[in-house]
Structure 1
Amino acid sequence: MRELYPEIEPFRTRRLAVDARHSLHVEECGTPGALPVLFLHGGPGAGIAPYHRRFFDPARWHVVLFDQRGAGQSTPFADLVDNTTAHLVADIEALREELGIERWVVFGGSWGSTLALAYAEAHPERVLGLVLRGIFLARDEELRWFNEVDGGARYIFPERWARFRDFIPEVERGNMIEAYWRRLDSSDETLRLAAAQAWSAYEGGSTTLLHDPDASGDFAEPHKAVSLARLEAHYFRHGMFLEPDQLLRDVAKLRRIPATIVHGRYDIICPVKTAIDLHAAWPEAELRIVLAGHSAADPAIVDALVQATDKLADRYG
């Protein structure tokens, strides 16, 4: 079974001002001039982490990672102004042009898979390949599955669901996303942080196949919790700023792009049906369903993702 490549530090970090308000934190690692790949983090709002650099052979890849608007070290922190999917797609193009890259592989998981698909469908001529994990197509059924009282996740992790649900008074539970949003957008800083930590701990505790207490603790860390919860709720309540079924509707634009879809059979956050639906519309892509949950750090997912990046490096090397 393949494991992550060894720890690696960026050979360059930079700031990219994409407009008068937003400045993005960008990292580059691996080998300058090698096969370029863009890593897209999840959330929205999760930000990049050091282990994200390690899905790629550093001798064969020029790896580009950045914190999306409002996330991680990008500024303003947790900011919602001019923060939509269209803005992020435009940011990716601005970054590609800034780096002088003609075409690149795009790698993304969870919300990162959503953004990767949106970008590739908007700019297929710029994409050499796609590696997608934990597919999220931004459909209402997917949002309701994990976040609402009629969703299915409550049957899998009832204890965690109860803690998430009980933060909201019963009278407001008909729309949990909106109820959380009112608190995440409150002028009361204490309430905002409590709501963010309740939201993020629920998500973090549901990511792995086997329970990992460190996962929920990391997600509930105040800085990460605030950006994750605020940005997710902002995007969720606006349908991810996508038209209904947009990503499936436009998948024909991707037919000639080599792609691997990796999905955990027991993914509770993004159910495997979503990956199967995408593959049914896009049979040219390779679908790998593995014994794992949602987390990119689950061993079976690491194995499949590293195999996928090695395969693309062989193809273009």
Structure 2
Amino acid sequence: MQTWDRQLITTSRGTFEVFIKGSGKPLCVTHHYSEFNETGDYFAETFTSDHQVILVNLREAGASEKAHEPYQMSMLETVFDLEAIRDSFDFDIWGFAGHSTGGMLGVLYGIYHSDSLLFSVITGAAAREYMTFSKDCIYNPEHPDYQIMQDYMETLKQSGLIETERKRISAERTKLSLFQPERHDQYFSLSIHKRMSGVRLNYFSRELHVFDVTRKLNLITSPILIICGRHDVQCPVSYSIEMAGEIPHSQLAIFEESNH
């Protein structure tokens, strides 16, 4: 499989590491706390046949700019970083696609900069904190797999973790979010690997508790496709249904045999 082209992009807000693949109209893809590399990303890979995909390592991820102040890792500041990257590429407009916390960034991007977005694809995401009031969420203490997910997440944050053990735990964590976990190896058969930015995840885990932009969803003016699995245990499908009901020009697609 063709690897992604690595570039360092100098912007008004610092230097960011991006990986580029495909041709066509530009499309930005990112995740709030993943660290990407030349092997790319499964979600981003799906768009490369039709778009020039710019896969972004956010602040503190990979070789991108550090956070000089903690608030620079917030979701809103991250949207401003993405706008600076778009401007440095000299794109008047581009698309955005995000899965999970990447989708949450896409919601904020649409609220504050719809004029920069040709379209958005928001997958398995939410416009507000999704743990406290949803027992269907694996991050809710009443979910049967809550503790094992917490243990996996904390282990993956460890910088000295042996790579073989990291891969094993990462696979087991992913299986918790698959409708058919026995098909994990079939789904993830490509030579794609990424890591997690512990510092970004730690900041997000605090910020999430006060995250709620549901009353601003009607400010999004760019077209949005909202996708979710019927059995999503991370951001349950009710949150996608909620977004689709509040965002103008949105379409909702629910995959009936899918998890997160």
TM-score band, normalised by shorter chain: 0.7 to 0.9
Structure with max Cα Rg: 1
1:45, 1:71 within 8 Å by CA — same for their partners in 2?
yes
Q: Give ranges in structure 1 of 5+ residues lacking alignment.
A: 1-6, 169-176, 296-317
Query: Which has a greater percent of strand?
Result: 2
1:80, 1:231 within 8 Å by CA — same for their partners in 2?
no
1:115 paired to 2:105:
yes
1:287 paired to 2:258:
no
- Which of 9, 30, 51 is the aligned partner of 1:16? 9
Match of 1:270 in 2: 235
**Given the superposition, is the C-alpha separation of residues 288 and 93 from structure 1 closer, same or farther in structure 2, using an over 3 Å criterion?**
same
The count of corresponding residues between Structure 1 and Structure 2 is 251
Q: Which amino acid counterpart does residue 34 of structure 2 have in structure 1?
A: G
Aligned-pair CA distance for 1:72:
4.0
1:133 paired to 2:123:
yes
Aligned-pair CA distance for 1:149:
1.7
- 1:1-317 aligned within 5 A: 7-10=1-4, 12-18=5-11, 23-31=15-23, 34-41=24-31, 43-47=32-36, 49-56=40-47, 58=49, 60-74=50-64, 76=66, 82-141=72-131, 145-150=137-142, 152=143, 154=144, 158=145, 161-164=146-149, 203-211=173-181, 212=183, 224-225=195-196, 227=197, 229-239=198-208, 244-246=211-213, 248-254=214-220, 256-282=221-247, 284-295=249-260
**Given the superposition, is the C-alpha separation of residues 148 and 223 from structure 1 closer, same or farther in structure 2, using an over 3 Å criterion?**
same
Aligned-pair CA distance for 1:163:
3.3
**Given the superposition, is the C-alpha separation of residues 134 and 142 from structure 1 closer, same or farther in structure 2, using an over 3 Å criterion?**
farther
Which digits, 9 at most, give the CA deviation of each residue in 1:68-96, with x for residues without a partner? 1222453559x967311122111111111
2:36, 2:194 within 8 Å by CA — same for their partners in 1?
no
Structure 2 Cα separation of the partners of residues 16 and 143 of structure 1:
40
Q: Which amino acid counterpart does residue 212 of structure 2 have in structure 1?
A: D
Q: What is the TM-score normalised by the length of structure 2?
A: 0.76
Query: Which has a greater percent of helix?
Result: 1
In percent, how many aligned pairs have the same letter?
19
**Given the superposition, is the C-alpha separation of residues 142 and 98 from structure 1 closer, same or farther in structure 2, using an over 3 Å criterion?**
farther
Structure 2 Cα separation of the partners of residues 19 and 237 of structure 1:
27
Which digits, 9 at most, give the CA deviation of each residue in 1:15-44, with x for residues without a partner? 134578x6421122223xx32211123x52
Aligned-pair CA distance for 1:244:
4.4
Which digits, 9 at most, give the CA deviation of each residue in 1:289-311, with x for residues without a partner? 0134345xxxxxxxxxxxxxxxx
**Given the superposition, is the C-alpha separation of residues 292 and 76 from structure 1 closer, same or farther in structure 2, using an over 3 Å criterion?**
farther
Which digits, 9 at most, give the CA deviation of each residue in 1:44-65, with x for residues without a partner? 235462434432253x422211
1:8, 1:54 within 8 Å by CA — same for their partners in 2?
no
Aligned-pair CA distance for 1:197:
9.3
Aligned-pair CA distance for 1:129:
0.8
2:139, 2:234 within 8 Å by CA — same for their partners in 1?
no
Q: Extract structure 1 runs of 4+ deviating beyond 6 A.
A: 188-191, 196-199
**Given the superposition, is the C-alpha separation of residues 282 and 210 from structure 1 closer, same or farther in structure 2, using an over 3 Å criterion?**
same
**Given the superposition, is the C-alpha separation of residues 72 and 137 from structure 1 closer, same or farther in structure 2, using an over 3 Å criterion?**
farther
